[in-house]
Structure 1
Amino acid sequence: MDKNKRKELQDEFKQIKVYMGVVLVKNNLNGKLFVSAYPNLKNKWMTMKAQLDLGMFGNLQLQKDWKELGEDAFSFEVLEQFDTEKISDVRWEVKKLEKQWREKLQSYDDKGYHKRPANR
């Protein structure tokens, strides 16, 4: 690939908007919720499904249920998304959003795949 074409493709890539946000994975059989926030939502469900299919997902309880019940037992939803262009500290905002949504949905213990925060 010549240098001009490469630069053109790089410039196009830089113009793609990036959205941060919160996703929900719901076990439709038992109602358990997995809530997580990410600095880039692009293709997030595809990435999560690939990790779950390969047995490499970070949440062991969700991974276990996925293996036992299969993909059809789960649904995926973007709960909230924001353009990152005007946000100065994306990582801080992602952590804050995740905490807010986990609290709102109470995705702990029997209702979810998360451990209740220790500072309660």
Structure 2
Amino acid sequence: MSPKLRPLPYDTPESRALGINFWMTWGGMTRQQASKHITRLRHAALLRPMPGEVCGAHARTTGKPCQAPAGPNGRCKLHGGKSTGPRTLEGKARTVEALQTGLRLWRDNHRPDEQIESAVEVLY
């Protein structure tokens, strides 16, 4: 299912310029701040569910389609698809580093304390 993007009023360069001028005048923003604000508004609008559309993903348990509101990709937040993971070498390196750091932290927190070891020796 291809995503259906709804037309937004500030999709044209002219209307975007009007929006930037509006936020500069009435919002007290610089041109750069207003441009970022318009971009955030656009992204927020694209992430909102499309009115009246449902996910429609097939449920194995009931055999019926999912009735949750659809997002911009045509599926709900539960059926939107899995992450493809990092694709660049830098992203893959960050993932390996994060895994190693997490494993190191886990090992540090799960080592038996010397006090526990001495208490076990006293009991046995």
TM range (shorter): under 0.3
Rg: which structure is higher? 2
